[in-house]
């Protein structure tokens, strides 16, 4: 057995591997997350690296993808090149998986960072007797064509001062190929954008340096529209039945976004005038509310939205407090309630270019499910409700300080609290864990029924006495009053278990139906991606144990974080990915679950609290 050392730059990570493994495996061992949309078949060329050292000869697959020139420069496909001895590998940012790629310092040859916003520092000749060109012509000539003249008077208004303030040194701001502003001096470094994930419950906003794609600040807050109902249906009704309802919802979310912009600007020491674009994702209703479009068609079948394609409008028109010349790009949606957030998930996870059977589940107030099979894409939305975000749970709360986020019930009850403080309630992952543990302990049965203490003779006394009867029925005390931060015990009630069953039943039924209409079974899922903040925190065993997701090997279940937000950042930093988002919006087939035969049977079955596989 020969051990070889493979080192990776930038970053300096190393792996000691047996000769005979691929560079891709070595990278995985070293913790360098390479892309692999084709599943290591040497077809997609996305795992491209430049390597020196002892490696196998290029394979036929590599010769198909790479030119002689490239091969001679040491470019290899990591999934094909086999380690023979020590090797040094240089990894372009473009070959890193996307979450890493976008935060990477540099950009590779497949340029990811190509934002719609471009700033160009120009030194203009000042007017002279031989050169009485207008200020505008002076700038347009210096930009050398290919830029459209301004369509707003504001750009012209700044011109005369800007041209004269610093001896002709100006910075032209170009968005989407149009000159939108001219600033005095060289301000080309001050070029930011914000990506915002407008969730029904939570709004998350990222400040990004557009030149590099780096995240310079993050802030989040509770969507103030929640005062009109915590689910999209209540807000739809508010919008269509209240005088000025849509406009109020619009102002509310814009108010929060502006607060978040102020917060990230302060974090990063950046002026809001240096922010030129906002890219937003969100479900179909959130997209309508953000743009102030009455969601009339969404109030009933066939759920025809006002718009579905990507929208590019002025920030000022929406009241978004960034540079007044700035734009807002709303990422396209898919259909019905499946919106731009799902397009963001697909963009970030590259499901649109993946092979095999992959499923992504974005768990928020709604649960969106994407099934990708060899490039064919299907998506649906399930009304999971906000239980996973801690809402509609008697002592539910957001995943913030004081929230119980994991629970174990065996001989004793143990829990973990976010922020190392006394517990005040449960967040989504705490609810899931608690229910999974109560089921495992037999305190709750597979139908979701609480067993009374007198039925629980096999349970240890100190656990059994935590099952108490209250006016609402039975409940389980996770933390007694003396441990709690509120002076009241933290409990999970029979009603809470029912809420979780409804939420997870909707999601499981969605996955199950989507697969069964394709004639597929859950066992065939090669990877199941859990997106959304919740997906980051949930324990996979618990999710499988109570049948939120199909019972497949835990290693096939991957948490991908706030993929919708990552998708928004990608669309912010790359016009070509923005075009890909448009294509995804057109390409994905929207499935209306309520039209599928057997939906209610699946749903009823999927509420069972046990590991689940094929239903129906």
Q: Is 241 in the site for a copy of itself (CB under 8 A)?
A: no
By CB under 8 A, how many residues form the interface with a copy of itself? 51
> How is residue 200 written in tokens?
């029904």
- Distance (Å, whole) CA 317 – CA 587: 30
- Distance (Å, whole) CA 591 – CA 256: 32
Among candidates 390, 385, 446, 436, which has minimal Cα distance to 415? Answer: 436
Q: Residue 160 CB, nearest distance to a copy of itself (Å)? A: 4
**Which residues, including other chains, have CB under 8 Å from residue 62's CB and lie 6 or more apart?**
42, 71, 76, 77, 80, 81
Q: Is 157 in the site for a copy of itself (CB under 8 A)?
A: yes
Q: Is 318 in the site for a copy of itself (CB under 8 A)?
A: yes
Strand bridging mode 192-198 / 327-330 = unpaired
Q: Is 589 in the site for a copy of itself (CB under 8 A)?
A: no
- Binds a copy of itself (CB under 8 A): choice among 43, 54, 63, 133: 133
Q: Is 255 in the site for a copy of itself (CB under 8 A)?
A: no
Name the H helices within 417-554. Answer: 428-440, 461-464, 494-517, 533-537, 540-545
Q: Residue 189 CB, nearest distance to a copy of itself (Å)? A: 26
Q: Angle of helix 575-587 relative to helix 563-573, nearest 10 degrees?
A: 130
- Distance (Å, whole) CA 395 – CA 595: 35
Q: Is 303 in the site for a copy of itself (CB under 8 A)?
A: yes
Q: Is 447 in the site for a copy of itself (CB under 8 A)?
A: no
Q: Is 305 in the site for a copy of itself (CB under 8 A)?
A: yes
- Of the candidate spans 133-141, 380-388, 444-452, 453-461, the one that interacts with a copy of itself by CB under 8 A turns out to be 133-141
Q: Is 594 in the site for a copy of itself (CB under 8 A)?
A: no
Which one, 69 or 595, has the nearer CB to a copy of itself?
595
- Binds a copy of itself (CB under 8 A): choice among 2, 151, 227, 271: 151
346, 360 in Cβ contact below 8 A?
A: yes
568, 578 in Cβ contact below 8 A?
A: no
- The alpha carbon of 328 is separated from its chain's Cα centroid by a whole number of angstroms, namely 18
Q: Is 184 in the site for a copy of itself (CB under 8 A)?
A: no
- Binds a copy of itself (CB under 8 A): choice among 309, 447, 576, 613: 309
Q: Is 291 in the site for a copy of itself (CB under 8 A)?
A: yes
Q: Give, in order, the Cα–Cα distances in Å from 5 to each of 56, 179, 185, 554.
A: 15, 51, 50, 30
- Of the candidate spans 128-136, 257-265, 480-488, 522-530, the one that interacts with a copy of itself by CB under 8 A turns out to be 128-136
Q: Is 302 in the site for a copy of itself (CB under 8 A)?
A: yes
- Binds a copy of itself (CB under 8 A): choice among 211, 229, 314, 422: 314
Query: Roughly how many angstroms between the first and final C-alpha of the chain, as a whole number?
Result: 51
- Of the candidate spans 15-23, 296-304, 481-489, 515-523, the one that interacts with a copy of itself by CB under 8 A turns out to be 296-304
- Binds a copy of itself (CB under 8 A): choice among 272, 308, 373, 569: 308
The owner of tokens 């994702």 is: 281
> How is residue 29 written in tokens?
């061992």
Q: What share of the chain is helix, strand, coil (3-state, %, to 5)?
A: 35, 25, 35
H helix or E strand, kind and range, residue 560: strand 557-561
Q: Is 502 in the site for a copy of itself (CB under 8 A)?
A: no
- Of the candidate spans 103-111, 290-298, 339-347, 566-574, the one that interacts with a copy of itself by CB under 8 A turns out to be 290-298
- Binds a copy of itself (CB under 8 A): choice among 33, 211, 224, 294: 294
Q: Is 111 in the site for a copy of itself (CB under 8 A)?
A: no
**Which residues, including other chains, have CB under 8 Å from residue 10's CB and lie 6 or more apart?**
90, 91, 105, 106
- Of the candidate spans 312-320, 384-392, 462-470, 478-486, the one that interacts with a copy of itself by CB under 8 A turns out to be 312-320
Which one, 61 or 316, has the nearer CB to a copy of itself?
316
Which one, 58 or 339, has the nearer CB to a copy of itself?
339
Which one, 416 or 517, has the nearer CB to a copy of itself?
517
Q: Is 156 in the site for a copy of itself (CB under 8 A)?
A: yes
- Of the candidate spans 68-76, 87-95, 161-169, 373-381, the one that interacts with a copy of itself by CB under 8 A turns out to be 161-169
Q: Is 304 in the site for a copy of itself (CB under 8 A)?
A: yes
Q: Residue 548 CB, nearest distance to a copy of itself (Å)? A: 29
- Distance (Å, whole) CA 427 – CA 155: 48
The answer for 570, left when phi > 0, alpha when psi is -120 to 50, beta otherwise, is alpha
Q: Is 144 in the site for a copy of itself (CB under 8 A)?
A: no
Q: Residue 250 CB, nearest distance to a copy of itself (Å)? A: 9
- Binds a copy of itself (CB under 8 A): choice among 311, 394, 408, 536: 311
CA angle centred on 405, ends 403 and 410, rounded to 5°:
120
- Distance (Å, whole) CA 360 – CA 367: 10
The DSSP 8-state label assigned to residue 451 in this structure reads: P
- Contacts to a copy of itself by CB under 8 A: 127-129, 131-138, 149-154, 156-157, 159-161, 163-164, 246, 291-297, 301-309, 311-314, 317-318, 335-336, 590, 595
């Amino acid at each position: 057995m020969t051990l070889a050392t493979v080192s990776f730059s930038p970053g300096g990570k190393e792996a000691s591997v047996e000769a005979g493994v691929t560079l891709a495996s070595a990278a995985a061992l070293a913790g360098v997350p390479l892309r692999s949309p084709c599943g290591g078949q040497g077809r997609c060329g996305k795992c491209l690296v430049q390597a020196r050292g002892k490696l196998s000869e290029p394979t036929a697959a590599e010769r198909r993808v790479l030119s002689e020139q490239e091969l001679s420069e040491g470019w290899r496909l990591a999934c094909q090149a086999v380690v023979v001895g020590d090797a040094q590998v240089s990894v372009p940012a473009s070959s890193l998986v996307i979450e890493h790629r976008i935060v990477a310092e540099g950009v590779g040859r497949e340029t990811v960072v190509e934002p719609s916003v471009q700033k160009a520092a120009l030194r203009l000749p000042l007017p002279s007797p031989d050169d009485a060109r207008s200020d505008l012509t002076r700038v347009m000539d210096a930009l050398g064509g290919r830029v459209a003249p301004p369509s707003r008077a504001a750009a012209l208004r700044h011109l005369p001062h800007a041209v004269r303030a610093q001896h002709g040194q100006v910075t032209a701001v170009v968005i989407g190929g149009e000159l939108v502003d001219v600033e005095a001096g060289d301000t080309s470094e001050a070029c930011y954008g914000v990506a915002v994930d407008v969730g029904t419950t939570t709004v998350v906003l990222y400040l990004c340096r557009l030149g590099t794609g780096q995240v310079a600040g993050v802030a989040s807050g509770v969507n103030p529209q929640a005062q009109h109902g915590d689910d999209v249906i209540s807000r739809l009704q508010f919008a269509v039945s209240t005088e000025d309802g849509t406009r109020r919802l619009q102002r509310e979310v814009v108010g929060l976004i502006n607060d978040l912009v102020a917060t990230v600007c302060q974090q990063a020491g950046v002026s809001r005038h240096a922010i030129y674009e906002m890219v937003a994702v969100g479900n179909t209703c959130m997209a309508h509310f953000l743009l102030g479009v009455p969601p009339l068609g969404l109030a009933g079948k066939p759920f025809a939205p006002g718009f579905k394609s990507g929208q590019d409008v002025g920030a000022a028109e929406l009241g978004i407090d960034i540079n007044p010349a700035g734009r807002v790009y709303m990422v396209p949606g898919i259909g019905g309630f499946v919106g731009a957030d799902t397009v963001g998930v697909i963009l970030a996870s590259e499901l649109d270019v993946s092979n095999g059977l992959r499923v992504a589940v974005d768990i928020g107030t709604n649960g969106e499910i994407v099934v990708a099979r060899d490039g064919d894409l299907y998506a649906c939305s399930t009304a999971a409700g906000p239980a996973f975000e801690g809402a509609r749970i008697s002592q539910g709360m957001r995943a913030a300080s004081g929230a119980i986020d994991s629970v174990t019930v065996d001989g004793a009850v143990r829990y973990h609290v976010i922020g190392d403080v006394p517990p005040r309630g449960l967040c989504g992952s705490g609810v899931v864990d608690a229910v999974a543990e109560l089921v495992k302990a037999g305190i709750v049965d597979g139908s979701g029924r609480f067993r009374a203490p007198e039925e629980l003779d096999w349970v240890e006394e100190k656990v059994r006495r935590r099952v108490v009867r209250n006016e609402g029925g039975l409940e389980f005390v996770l933390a007694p009053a003396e441990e709690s931060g509120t002076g009241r015990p933290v409990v999970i009630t029979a009603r809470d278990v029912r809420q979780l069953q409804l939420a997870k039943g909707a999601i499981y039924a969605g996955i199950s139906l989507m697969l069964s209409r394709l004639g597929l079974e859950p066992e065939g899922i090669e990877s199941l991606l859990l997106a959304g903040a919740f997906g980051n925190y949930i324990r996979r065993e618990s999710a499988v144990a109570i049948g939120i997701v199909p019972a497949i090997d835990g290693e096939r279940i991957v948490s991908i974080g706030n993929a919708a937000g990552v998708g928004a950042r990608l669309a912010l930093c790359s016009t070509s990915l923005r075009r890909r988002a448009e294509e995804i919006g057109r390409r994905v087939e929207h499935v209306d679950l309520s039209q599928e035969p057997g939906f209610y049977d699946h749903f009823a079955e999927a509420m069972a609290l046990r590991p689940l596989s094929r239903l129906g």
